Amino acid sequence: MTGLSGAGDGPSDGLTALAVSMADAVECLTNLWSVAAQGASVRLSSHQLRALRVMDGQPGINLTALAVRMDIGLPAASRLCDRLEAAALLERELHPRNRRVVRLHVTRQGRQALDEVASRRARRLAVALGAMEPADAEALGRGLRGFLAALDAGTGDEDGTA
């Protein structure tokens, strides 16, 4: 899938092979993730889903903070919110003390859409995990916990970014 190859003699060759395998798995997971989301009753783009998740995690976030958090421009964030509001998944509320600030909130329908997508994704993952040997599934769980702990500890790539 990734097309990466090249055996070498260095001590990190095992880690490189594992990284290539992980990249292939991530590509498969990305496809599973996308297909599960597209099969939901409300079809949302990955940007729309991400925006809803950000707003759900930070109720009352403003448009500027949403744009920064999503690493997109303010006009793009505004258009994204326009579409979500038109679909009744988002509501805008004027800040009670600063009328120039608009707070963003996920609606009940937006929360239902997020829940449906999360449920569809979890079911698809459970099917794949259920097809694994129990020992392999347990080892995967341990490995993922270790991987996440390493990321949380600030491990980054060559240029020092995480």
DSSP class of 100: T
Fold designation for 14-130: Arc Repressor Mutant, subunit A (1.10.10)
pLDDT of 162 reads: 42
For the segment 132-153, the average pLDDT, to the nearest whole number, is 94
**Given a cut of 80, is residue 1 above it in pLDDT?**
no
CA–CA separation, 106 vs 122, rounded Å? Answer: 21
pLDDT of 96 reads: 84
For the segment 59-83, the average pLDDT, to the nearest whole number, is 96
Average pLDDT, the chain: 88
pLDDT of 60 reads: 95
DSSP codes joined into one string, 80-118:
HHHHHHHTTSEEEEE-SS-TT-EEEEE-HHHHHHHHHHH
3 state DSSP class of 157 = coil
Domain boundaries defined on the chain: 14-130
- Residue 160 pLDDT class (50, 70, 90 cuts): very low
pLDDT digits (tens, 9 = 90+) for 4-49: 455 555 557 888 998 999 999 999 999 988 888 888 888 898 899 9
pTM score of the predicted model: 0.75
Longest dimension (CA), the chain: 64
DSSP codes joined into one string, 61-85:
EEHHHHHHHHT--HHHHHHHHHHHH
**Given a cut of 70, is residue 158 above it in pLDDT?**
no
Higher-confidence position of 69 and 159: 69
